[in-house]
Amino acid sequence: MRVEPIPGVPAATVDTDGTRLVALADYHAGIEAGLRYDGVELRSAAATRRERLLSALARTDADRLVVVGDLGHAIGSPFSAEREELDALFSAVDVPVTLVKGNHDGELESVLDDADVTMAPGHGVVIGDVGFTHGHTWPAPRVLACDTICMGHEHPVVRLEDDVGGHRHERAWLRGALVSEPFETHYDRSLDVDGDLVVFPAFNDRSGGTWVNVQGQDFLAPYLPAGLADAEAFLLDGTRLGPYRDI
């Protein structure tokens, strides 16, 4: 499998073109400052997020980090806490970074001027033979032509119930085959769409998510769920839950 989740971590290794990448989505640096505006007071977990990411890079011997959108949290100008978190993060990361811009990354350029970061548009980038797109906009046709496509944005979560009525929610991976029809309708032409889509869980555990197995919950991406056939869900520890609609 070209995209291999790292057990217990909401990130994956991606081996492509002789390079090992670590990919993650929805880091949402500075999220606590955003939550404060909504009246939720939480101590910053910036150091915990940073150490989790640095540990994943070290244990996988990665050559590059790919952030599949929403590295930051503020949709507009970054909060001061967000700037501080990202400054500390990029002072510690010792591999080059590719950022696929998400809907929360509109004004991050000024924060990342001195970091070794390559910016890619939200509709995607191809590295080796793997495509990366955030998910808030339609993937570019060249991304859709890849055998494997990675996306974020959804923050997929499953609701799990036990036999006595208790329940909990867990972040999850989704993986399934792409369906060409919605993309061909959008682009109004035939496309080479025959790959798998991997929907990443949010790296940030405070960012909420789409409850994919709860009726009435809608996906955020404009091409889901129509563009994804028979997707299966997996927990962060690797547990295979089967088709997400049946959980």
Cα distances from 4 to residues 13, 22, 70, 107, 175, in angstroms, run 5, 10, 21, 31, 11
pLDDT tens-place string over residues 150-167: 999 999 999 887 766 677
pTM greater than the 0.85 cutoff? yes
pLDDT at 71 (0 to 100) = 95
pLDDT at 245 over 80: yes
pLDDT at 121 (0 to 100) = 92
Letter for the amino acid at 80?
Answer: S
pLDDT at 115 (0 to 100) = 79
pLDDT at 175 (0 to 100) = 96
pLDDT tens-place string over residues 121-136: 999 999 999 999 999 9
pLDDT at 198 over 80: yes
Question: Nearest Cα to 182, choosing from 227, 246, 237?
Answer: 227
